[in-house]
Amino acid sequence: MLDFALVIAQQSVHLYRLSGARAEPVAAAGVDVDPVAWVAAHMPARGNCSLVSDIMDEAYIRNVLPPIWLAGTRQQLLQRRLQQQMRDNPYRAAVLVPSGSWRPPTRVSLIGMGQSERIAQWLAALTAHHIRVKGLWPLSALIALEVRQKLPRRPRTDPLVQGPPAPPEPASLRPILALVATPAGLRQVLVRGKTPLFSRLALSVGEGSLSAAFVLAEARRTVQYLISQEWLGSADQPVATQMWLPFDDEQALAEVGSDPALDVQFIEGVTDAYARLLPRIKSASAQLQFLPDESRTQWRAAQIAAGAKYGGIAALALAVLWSADLLWLSWGKRNLAQEQLARAAVINQQASQEVLRAKGDLSQAGLAVAAVQAWQQTLASQPDQFAGLQHLAGALKGAPGVEVQKISWTLPRLQVQAAGAPPAPAQPFGCPKVVDAAAAAAEAAKPALALLSFSAALPLALTQRQALQLQDGLLAGLNTGGWSAFLLKSTVTLDPVQVQTGTLGEVGARTLDLCLEKVAP
C-alpha cells in the first residue's frame, strides 16, 4: 500500500510519495485546482495519506498554567482553555513547554490552524477517493524534529540581573530559532527540545526574493516579537539559530552568520525543504496531530482490521509450528513405546524360560502361571475398601449423630490347589452370626468376598428407646446394595432373660459394634 504526503501551502499544494526515509515529489498545483479531480488524477484509491500544513494563518497563544501534578486534571484545563481561546477553529492543539526539572510544566502554547474550509475540501476529496488520512500536522512539528541540539557557543549572562545565578538549564532545552526556506516562504519556528512553541511564515514574492537581507530582517522581527510576548527572556539572547536555506553564496552566508543578535549554529543549503522534512512524519508527536478523532475513524478501523488480520496469520503460523512439534514428539514417543513393547515381549519370553529351567517340569510352570492369573482375577472381582467406605458413608447420612471410631478391612485368603493334590479344606470366612440350616446352605453357595468391621458411638443424651431406633435405622441403611450388616454388640442389651439395670444420675456408654459382609452376586 502506497503512502503519500500532501502539503497544503499558502498558495499551492504539493504531493509527495513516501518511501522509507525518502520523499519523492509527484505533482504540484495552485489554489484554484479542483481537489476531487486532482486527487483522482494523481493518487491511487485506498492509499494512505498524511496532511501537512504550511500556511500563514496559524495562531500561537502563550498561556501559563498552575503547577498541576495530575496529568488528567491538567489535560481537562487545557481543553477548556482551547475551547475559550479558539472556539470556532476545529483544528487546534495545546503543546506543553518542557519544564527542564522535576516540577510539572506550567507554560503552554495554544495552537490553532487557519484556512479550515480549504483543509476540509481536501479532506473531503481524499475521503471520496477512499484515501485513508493518517492525520494533519503543521510543518513546524517536522522542523522541530530536524533541529539539532548543541551546546551554546556564547555565555548567556545578564550583568543587570542581581542575586545568585539561576541553576543552569539543560542544553537540550535551550530555545532555538529554526529558519527554513519552503516554496511558501520563510518558515520560522521557535523550538525547545523537540517541541515547537511558535511558528511564523514570511512570504517571499518574486524570483530570487529570498535574499540574505530578507532572511536577516525577518529573523530580527521574529526575535523582537518573541521577546515582547515573553516567549524569550534576556538570558536567551543572543538567540541560538539554525538555518536551512536554498542559496549557497558564501558572501550572503557570511552576512547572515555574523549578525550579533543571532547565535547562528549552522547554515545548511536545502533546495527542497518538503522532501527533506516529510519523512519525519513517522516520528511526529501525537499531541501535534490536529485532525479530530472522528475524522480518523475509517483509518483507525482499517488499522485495527489490518492488525487483527496479521495477528491471526501469526497465531495460525505459531499453531502450525506448535502442532508440527507436537506431532514430531508424539511420533517419537510412539516409536519408543513400540520398542518398549518389543523389549517387554522378549523379557517375558526370557522369564518363561527361566521358570521352566527352575521348575524342571512344564506342569509346575503352568500351575505357577495359572495361580498368578487366578490371583489377578480375584483381586479384580473383589470390591475395594473405597467402595465399602462409600457404602458406610451413605448409610451414616441417614443416622445423624453416629460417630465411627474404628474401621477394619478383611479379604478372604486365596486358595491355590496344586496339581494332583486333594482340595484343601475351606477356611470359614464371614461375619459371626447365627443362622438356620437353609440360610447356611445359601451362604455356602454365595461365599463372602470382603468384610468391613467398625465400632461406633451414639450420642449420650439419647434414651434407650431413641438409641435403639437410631441403631435400627443404621442397620436398615447398611443392608442394601449387596451388603449385609450383622450386629456384634448392641447399644442396648437385647437378651430377654437378662435383667436390665442402671444407676440413676450416671449416663452409660452408647457404643455398638457392626460387621459388614459383601457376598458374591
DSSP assignments along 22-83, one per residue: EEEEEEEEETTS-HHHHHHHHS-TT-EEEEEEE-S-EEEEEEE------HHHHHHHHHHHHH
Looking at residue 115, what is its pLDDT? 86
> Which contiguous run of DSSP H or E holds residue 13?
strand 12-19
Looking at residue 160, what is its pLDDT? 46
Residue 124 makes CB contacts below 8 A (sequence gap 6+) with 35, 36
Q: How many residues does this entry show for the chain? A: 521
* Cα–Cα distance measured from residue 60 to residue 58, given in angstroms and rounded to the nearest whole number: 7
pLDDT tens for each residue of the chain, 521 residues long:
678 999 999 889 999 999 888 899 999 998 889 999 999 999 988 888 999 999 888 888 888 888 888 888 888 888 888 888 888 788 888 888 777 777 888 788 888 888 888 988 998 899 888 888 888 999 999 999 999 876 555 444 444 444 455 445 565 678 899 999 998 889 999 998 888 989 999 886 554 567 778 888 888 899 999 888 888 888 878 888 898 888 766 666 677 667 777 888 888 888 899 999 999 988 888 778 888 765 555 555 655 666 777 788 888 888 888 778 777 887 887 788 778 778 777 877 777 776 666 655 555 555 555 555 655 555 555 556 677 777 888 888 888 888 887 888 777 765 555 555 566 555 667 787 755 555 555 555 567 777 778 888 888 888 888 888 888 888 888 888 778 888 888 887 766 776 767 666 666 678 888 888 877 66
* Cα–Cα distance measured from residue 62 to residue 328, given in angstroms and rounded to the nearest whole number: 68
Whether the CB-CB separation of 478 and 514 falls below 8 Å is answered with yes
Q: What is the dihedral of CA 335, 337, 343, 346, to 10 degrees?
A: -110
* Cα–Cα distance measured from residue 214 to residue 199, given in angstroms and rounded to the nearest whole number: 17
* Cα–Cα distance measured from residue 97 to residue 144, given in angstroms and rounded to the nearest whole number: 13
Closest CA to 399 of 459, 473, 460: 473
pTM check: above 0.85: no
Q: What is the dihedral of CA 430, 436, 442, 448, to 10 degrees?
A: 0
Looking at residue 61, what is its pLDDT? 85
* Cα–Cα distance measured from residue 485 to residue 477, given in angstroms and rounded to the nearest whole number: 9
Work out whether the CA dihedral 480, 483, 486, 492 comes out positive or negative: negative
Whether the CB-CB separation of 36 and 309 falls below 8 Å is answered with no
Edge-first strand listing for the sheet containing 185-192: 195-202, 185-192, 176-182, 239-245, 262-269
Looking at residue 288, what is its pLDDT? 83
Cis previous bond, 238, omega within 30: yes
Looking at residue 155, what is its pLDDT? 47
Query: Which residue matches cell numbers 537540550?
Result: 172
* Cα–Cα distance measured from residue 208 to residue 432, given in angstroms and rounded to the nearest whole number: 126
* Cα–Cα distance measured from residue 4 to residue 44, given in angstroms and rounded to the nearest whole number: 10
Looking at residue 162, what is its pLDDT? 47
Whether the CB-CB separation of 107 and 64 falls below 8 Å is answered with yes
Task: Report how far apart, in Å, the C-alpha atoms of 246 and of each of 16, 208, 337 are.
Answer: 19, 10, 79
Angle, helices 250-257/212-228, rounded to nearest 10 degrees: 20
* Cα–Cα distance measured from residue 140 to residue 307, given in angstroms and rounded to the nearest whole number: 31
* Cα–Cα distance measured from residue 457 to residue 509, given in angstroms and rounded to the nearest whole number: 8
Q: Hey, which bits of 114-175 come out as E strands?
A: 132-138
Looking at residue 369, what is its pLDDT? 58
Q: How many CB atoms lie within 10 A of CB 322?
A: 10
Sort 366 into a burial class: Cβ within 10 Å, 0-12 / 13-18 / 19+: middle
Whether the CB-CB separation of 138 and 53 falls below 8 Å is answered with yes
107: three-class secondary structure by DSSP: strand
* Cα–Cα distance measured from residue 320 to residue 77, given in angstroms and rounded to the nearest whole number: 52
